[in-house]
């Protein structure tokens, strides 16, 4: 099965990010938008795993959550990888809470490597993907729209408290991925 570990977002944040998607859609660009119900903050993509690995991953999640306290994050920016003028992935970024997300992702990465799942080649970046560009269609209009919305979250910041992390199963379908929560673990409160 194909799995990943992520921070789920409350419906109010998903709705806010969906409104940004709707504004960006007016550009007419060829973008595969993340369905609002699927928007999340990925901590670790694990790919295809076995049932045996699944049990070890669940234990790793439990152990990691015991070591990490709940924390607040704030969505603060809108951008694109590799850069805003040549977007391939459209994302929203985090300022407050970024250090805690980085530490959580690093702890998961190190512990999961010990059960035989390799570390990522690239360094972790705290972000929430909201769309992936499929072609150059209306790219200039998309870039202009992105730039016009760059300060949206500075004007209307979105905050949430991260209280748990989740292990998701991802089933790919022609209509897009279907996510199913396999395990949730609560971060500590003290």
Per-residue pLDDT, 156 = 83
pLDDT exceeds 80 at position 36? yes
Per-residue pLDDT, 122 = 85
Pairing label, strands 71-83, 158-162: antiparallel
Quick: pLDDT tens for 97-152.
Answer: 999 999 999 999 999 999 989 888 888 999 999 999 999 999 999 999 999 998 88
Right CATH for 2-185 from 3.20.20.70, 2.60.40.10, 3.30.390.10, 3.90.1140.10: 3.90.1140.10
Query: Percentage of residues in the chain with pLDDT exceeding 70?
Result: 99
For residues 43-47, give the mean pLDDT.
94
Residues 6+ apart with CB under 8 A from 185: 61, 62, 64, 65, 164, 165, 166
DSSP string, 109-160: HHHHHTTT-PPPSSPP--EEEEEEE-SSTTHHHHHHHHHHHTTHHHHS-EEE
Quick: pLDDT tens for 51-71.
Answer: 999 999 999 999 999 989 999
* Strand partners for 165: 185
Per-residue pLDDT, 190 = 63
Per-residue pLDDT, 98 = 96
Per-residue pLDDT, 151 = 86
Grade residue 49 by pLDDT with cuts at 50, 70 and 90.
Answer: very high
pLDDT exceeds 90 at position 4? yes
The CA distance from 20 to 9, in Å, is 15
Quick: pLDDT tens for 16-34.
Answer: 999 999 999 999 999 999 9
> 43, 7 in Cβ contact below 8 A?
yes
Per-residue pLDDT, 80 = 95
What pTM was estimated for this model as a whole?
0.93
Known catalytic residues are 40, 127
């Amino acid at each position: 099965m194909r799995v990943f570990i992520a921070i789920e977002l409350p419906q109010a944040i998903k709705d806010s990010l969906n409104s940004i998607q709707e504004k960006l859609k007016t550009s007419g660009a060829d973008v595969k938008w993340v369905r609002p119900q699927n928007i999340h903050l990925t901590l670790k993509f694990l790919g295809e795993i076995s049932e045996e690995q699944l049990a070890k991953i669940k234990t790793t999640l439990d152990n990691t959550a015991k070591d990490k306290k709940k924390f607040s994050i704030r969505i603060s920016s809108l951008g694109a990888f590799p850069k805003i003028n040549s977007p391939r992935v459209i994302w929203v970024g985090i300022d407050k809470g970024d250090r805690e997300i980085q530490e959580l992702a690093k702890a998961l990465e190190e512990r999961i490597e010990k059960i035989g799942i390799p570390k990522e080649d690239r360094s972790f970046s705290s972000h929430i993907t909201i769309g992936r560009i499929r072609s150059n269609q209306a790219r200039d209009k998309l870039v202009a729209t992105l730039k016009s919305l760059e300060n949206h979250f500075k004007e209307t910041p979105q905050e949430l408290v991260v209280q748990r992390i989740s292990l998701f199963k991802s089933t790919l379908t022609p209509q897009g991925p279907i996510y199913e929560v396999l395990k949730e673990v609560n971060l500590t409160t003290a």
